[in-house]
Amino acid sequence: AGAVGIWHISRPEPVEVEVKPVTRGSVERTVANTRAGTVKACRRAKLSPGIGGQIAKLNVNKGDSVKAGQLLLEIWNADLEAQATLTEREVNAARSRRNAVCLKADVARRNADRLVKLLRSNAVSEERVDNAVTEADTFRAECEAARAEVQVREAQLAVVKANLARTRLEAPFDGVIAEINGELFEYVTPSPVGIPTPPAVDIIDVSCFYVAAPIDEVDAAGVRVDMSARVTMDAFRDRSFKGHVRRISDYVLDIEKQARTVEVEVTFDRPEQAAALLPGYSADIEVILERRDDVIRVPTEAIMDGRRVFVFQRDEGTVALRNIRTGISNWDQTEVLEGLAPDEWVVVNVDNPELADGAAAVPIEERP
């Protein structure tokens, strides 16, 4: 009895272990971004007038929805408007002169043709016919000159209208006004070469979004366009969005000297699910390189050195160290090819220094 009592007193306390079951299911091999990605609009335009001047019209406010072609801002252009009106009238006058001269040319040609027919029957003199033909040719040349003058005037009008268009900002697509830098009667100037200045109007297309995120150059080698991907965001912690890779950068970013990455863009499979997104949200992407279904899997955190796990033997109340052979894996699950069977239990708190092969153990949730 004394010996039994000594043994009970001196035996080691069971190791507390956190266990999870070996299951069957799907395992995916994935790669993820190394730094936070960004939600971006498929189209975004930062607009400024082509010339400097005073803002005469500002038809939008920050946050307004606009349609393609809608006038956003206009620089004072009364002088160009007057010049356009003058040039239009000059065009109309030139067209009228052309019509008059060309009508005279037609009449002169018909008269000359009649006199040529009369000359064959010696009803008119040859001199009169020559004069009529020459007059018809002269009017025809004047008609061509008048047509050329109309083309010149029309080209001048196109130049004036082009200069007039440089004073106006129109929406290039349907979108939302993200920023306005300027007020009525303020002066705006175009950016000098090499010196960026804030745009007068910043417009964003909020009907289409994608995520751009940097992936380590080593992991990016396995990524291909059209691969499936998942997108998660801090703003929507309880949701993930399905997508696919639409673009892989053609060059390596060298923003950080020791961390070189490749930018990968992921679009959403269901754009309507992304309707609540805002450009600039931080986002993470997970590209699915390979997927296997109905395989034996264990939590990745339970595996040591890529080939060993502690198996909890509930009947004996001990843990056993076992070698396994693994397949594909991700942060959560790892495929097991050999060494484990479904419904076995593995230890996940493998950093416990008291763990050893054959050690007595008790699950944390079952600790009295």
For residue 335, what are the contacts with CB-CB under 8 A and spacing of at least 6? 27, 292, 295, 296, 297, 326, 327, 328, 329
Q: Which residues of the chain have pLDDT under 50?
A: 4-10, 367-368
Owner of token pair 């153990």: 361
Query: In the numeric block, which tokens belong to residue 87?
Result: 């040039």
Pinpoint the alpha helices (H) of 166-238.
217-220
Give per-residue pLDDT as tens, 200-241.
999 999 888 999 999 998 888 889 999 999 999 988 888 889
Confidence at residue 256, expressed as pLDDT on a 0 to 100 scale: 61
Task: Say how far residue 273 (Cα) sits from the centre of its chain.
Answer: 16
Distances in Å between the Cα of 285 and the Cα atoms of 30, 36, 101, 241, 367 are 10, 9, 72, 9, 39
Confidence at residue 258, expressed as pLDDT on a 0 to 100 scale: 66
Confidence at residue 368, expressed as pLDDT on a 0 to 100 scale: 46
- Give me the residues paired with residue 75 across strands: 55
Confidence at residue 221, expressed as pLDDT on a 0 to 100 scale: 87
Angle formed by the axes of helices 78-120 and 126-165, to 10°? 160
Task: Say how far residue 44 (Cα) sits from the centre of its chain.
Answer: 9
Confidence at residue 66, expressed as pLDDT on a 0 to 100 scale: 93
Pinpoint the alpha helices (H) of the chain.
2-10, 78-120, 126-165, 217-220
Confidence at residue 9, expressed as pLDDT on a 0 to 100 scale: 47
> Rounded to 5 degrees, what angle do the CA atoms 10, 12, 14 make?
145
Give per-residue pLDDT as tens, 261-308.
899 999 999 877 777 788 889 999 999 999 999 999 999 999 998 899
Q: How far apart are the first and last CA of the chain?
A: 26
